Amino acid sequence: MKPSQIYDELIKEIQGSFERLPDQRTGENTRYEIKDAAVSAFGIFFTQSRSFLAYQRMMEKAKGKSNVQSLFGAERIPSDGQIRNLLDSQEPEQLCGVFEKGHEFLEESGQMAGFSSYAGQYLISCDGTGTISSQKIHCPNCSRRELNNGEMLHIHYAILPVIVKAGESRVLVLEPEFISPQDGHEKQDCEREAIKRWVKRNAGRFREHKYTLLGDDLYTCQPICSMFLENGFNFILVCKPDSHVALYEQVEFLSKLGSVEQLKLRHWNGRNNESHHYRWVNEVPLRRGEDALSVNWCEITIVREDTGKRLYHNAFITHHELNSSNVIPIVRDGRARWKSENETNNVLKTKGYHLEHNFGHGQQHLANFMLTLNLLAFLFHTILDLLDEQYHALRQELVTRQDFFNDLRALLRYMLFDNWNHLMHFMLVGLELIPDT
């Protein structure tokens, strides 16, 4: 099993990004570099250990060096308070390049091809989620929501775009877009405005490939769909009858004329027979009016044959022209949107990344900067699983995410490792996956 250099390349890239963070301090108290604070915070998220730095400080005192230095490249470990103070002024957009570089590694290695979907498209699933909230602590980047008792809840929201593929358990997280008050706007920011900013900022980057955006019914409106198309993105979006009355009136009219095409398939799910019923029609208006955007509509209904119980139903709009040969893969791709919730948001909130935990709110950008570091840690582990043979072997052996991170935390707490490959080799030998050489 060959040692990999991908971890060192990833760390080098994030260190370079940290070194470019501006230092706005004017006094003489500059013992700790901004880079040290950012590297130390990243180590917490990468190891999924809130106590990681405390143990590393004890290790440095006892052994003269710590894993924060040998694995992540910090020179000194600031205190938790110093880390928060040093990073509070840093805007998270300064880290966007690290996400792009991570995806370049996957592209160069050929791994991105494994995420291509129908017609060679890559699916970007977009979903908004709340992160940290408080009734007492707030900052200029907080959104506000009035509770039933009349009190105000201050909360951070973000859109977390990820590249997904049906049948692939891993997702490739992209840089977030934060939903926060915008300069010059009286109204609160919202998810629709945030996705517009994200698409316009990234349109040039994604033009080299074909990308399809997935989203819920919130995005299924003419301004959003038109903006997607103008910036070179296709879309497969959930389309509900209650919010698109004009479109469904047209579908119903065409159905009575026999112009809505249908396809029925029988499917054995391993326990029962299911009936998969597809319906679709091209060129229907998204809304009323002569300027309405024409979209293509499809629907899937899954019924258990022996009981007649409806197991699943959903409908989508897309700019892909629909026919009997592609409606199944397009519906399959549309259904991959659930990975934003199940395999991104839920993993980040419940599987060790503690997305909703307040690692530091700050007075400026700290909460959003910490979230961005957390997402980068999530991306790094995915890239390592795809490109680092030793890492992948360990994740296959330690089946659950919890087992892997429990072992990682314990080893880094008690032992000093010279580098990443030293750590990987030690774990592989300990699990008898390779001989001790």
In a domain, 297, yes or no: yes
- d(CA 374, CA 44) in angstroms, rounded, equals 9
d(CA 241, CA 136) in angstroms, rounded, equals 40
Question: What is the C-alpha to C-alpha distance for residues 393 and 165, in angstroms, rounded to an integer?
Answer: 22
> Are 274 and 302 contacting, i.e. CB atoms less than 8 angstroms apart?
yes
> 133 in a domain, yes or no?
no
Cβ within 8 Å of residue 216, ≥6 positions away: 127, 237, 238, 337
Is position 314 within any domain? Answer: yes
Does residue 61 register a pLDDT over 70? yes
345 or 67, greater pLDDT: 67
Q: How confident is the model at residue 145 (pLDDT cuts 50, 70, 90)?
A: confident
Specify the pTM.
Answer: 0.93
Count: domains in the chain: 2
In this predicted structure, the answer to whether residue 182 has a pLDDT above a threshold of 80 is no
Mark whether 304 and 412 lie in a shared domain. no
Domain assignment of residue 110, yes or no = no
Q: How confident is the model at residue 184 (pLDDT cuts 50, 70, 90)?
A: low
Least confident of 154-168, 199-213, 402-416: 199-213
What is the Cα–Cα distance from 50 to 396, expressed in whole angstroms?
Answer: 25
Together in a domain, 300 and 256: yes
Shortest CA distance to 83 belongs to which of 50, 17, 44, 38? Answer: 38
Q: Tell me which of 335, 363, 382 is where a domain ends.
A: 335
- Contact yes or no for 94/20 (Cβ under 8 A): yes
Q: Are residues 366 and 409 in the same domain?
A: yes
The answer to the question of residue 156 being in a domain is: no
Question: Quick check: 234 pLDDT over 80?
Answer: yes
Residue 254 maps to a domain: yes
Q: Is the pLDDT of residue 207 over 80?
A: no
Quick one: pLDDT at residue 185? 57
Residue 205, pLDDT score:
86
> Which range (59-63, 87-91, 209-213, 316-320) has the least confidence?
209-213
Mark whether 295 and 403 lie in a shared domain: no
Domain co-membership, 228 together with 300:
yes
User: How far apart are alpha carbons 366 and 90 in whole angstroms?
Assistant: 7
For residue 274, being part of any structural domain is answered with yes
Q: Among the listed ranges 78-87, 202-211, 412-421, which one has the minimum average pLDDT value?
A: 202-211
Would the pLDDT of 209 be above 90? Answer: no
Same domain, yes or no: 12 and 71: yes
pLDDT tens digits, one per residue of 43-58: 999 999 999 999 999 9
Which residue range is the domain that position 69 belongs to?
A: 6-93+354-430
Pairs from 142-150 (Cβ < 8 Å, separation ≥ 24): 142/180, 142/181, 143/179, 143/180, 143/181, 143/188, 143/189, 144/188
Residue 363 inside a domain? The answer is yes
Same-domain status, 239 and 326 = yes
Share of the chain above pLDDT 70, in %: 98
Shared domain for 361 and 422, answered yes or no, is yes
> Per-residue pLDDT for 208 more than 80?
no
Structure-token pair, residue 64 = 């003269």
Among candidate residues 285, 300, 335, the one where a domain is terminated: 335
Q: Identify the pLDDT of residue 183.
A: 61
Residues 320 and 381 in one domain: no
For 6-33, write each residue's pLDDT tens digit. Answer: 999 999 999 999 999 999 877 766 788 9
From residue 215, how far is each of 108, 127, 316, 334, 339 by CA, in Å?
A: 28, 7, 10, 8, 11
Question: Which runs of consecutive H residues, i.e. helices, occur in 130-242?
Answer: 191-206, 222-230
- pLDDT tens sequence across 238-296: 999 999 999 999 999 999 999 999 999 999 988 999 999 999 999 999 999 999 999 99
